Amino acid sequence: MNGAHDLGGMHGFGPVELERDEPVFHHEWERRAFAITLAAGFLGKWNIDMTRYAREQMPPAEYLATTYYEHWLFGLEKLLDDTRLVSRAELQAALTGGAAEPAVPAAGVRVLAARDVEAELRKRRASKADEDVPPRFNVGDRVRTVNINPLGHTRLPRYARDKRGAVALDHGVWVFPDTNGTGRGRKPQHCYSVRFEACELWGAGAGSRDAIYIDLWDDHLVPA
């Protein structure tokens, strides 16, 4: 979807300011939001691409006025409500000190115990696929990105659509985020690092020696 999250090439936001010795979390609630989101993911009711798509559905004005982990919380609340694990009424009641009718318990929920967190995180390969799928492209191939404007999730940014580049690296077979994030199946296929000359993306005013590498999937590409 062409939402507020897809800001590549947008003007008016000022420079990206680097924070010296930046901490992993700026506030304790961010640490908790991170942990709760990961723990909820182990319930088995959604995948990592669905979490991204949930955050992308935050209203644009709200998205631009809030922080990174506020986006995470919005996405988590939406997924909990969508899967009937926790209702919006329950969440609101928790904020106000009121009471609400609990959501209908969901079947087939996994529980992640604290003692298992480190081992589970080390062994998980969230989106790597085991299927033996032949690649459509080889390293060095000239490719062009498709020109799409989907209403759902996509990993092909707006500024890189209908642009020409070259395959620099084949990462192997991965789940296709565009379908996986909207419940339309894993559709495993090759993911490539594609090199684009800066002038191809940004025009003649871009640096002639600059290039951008974007990870894209088979379905994002056609022969140039």
Rounded to whole angstroms, the Cα distance separating 71 from 5 reads: 10
Rounded to whole angstroms, the Cα distance separating 161 from 205 reads: 19
Q: According to CATH, what is the number of the domain 28-123? A: 1.10.472.20
pLDDT tens by residue, 35-52: 999 889 988 899 999 999
Q: Which of 192, 176, 189, 199 is nearest to 143 (CA)?
A: 192
Task: Please state the rounded mean pLDDT for residues 66-75.
Answer: 97
Classify domain 142-223 at the CATH topology level: SH3 type barrels. (2.30.30)
Rounded to whole angstroms, the Cα distance separating 178 from 155 reads: 7
Task: Please state the rounded mean pLDDT for residues 76-80.
Answer: 95
Distance, CA of 73 to chain centre: 14
The full length of the chain comes to: 224
| CATH 2.30.30.50 domain locations along the chain | 142-223
User: Taking a C-beta distance cutoff of 8 angstroms, is the pair 79, 40 a contact?
Assistant: yes
User: Taking a C-beta distance cutoff of 8 angstroms, is the pair 75, 51 a contact?
Assistant: yes
pLDDT tens by residue, 84-110: 888 888 888 888 877 767 666 666 777
The yes-or-no verdict on residue 7 having pLDDT over 80 is yes
| CATH 1.10.472.20 domain locations along the chain | 28-123
Pair of tokens at residue 159? 């500024």
pLDDT tens by residue, 153-200: 999 999 999 999 999 999 999 999 999 999 999 999 999 999 999 999
Pair of tokens at residue 168? 């620099």
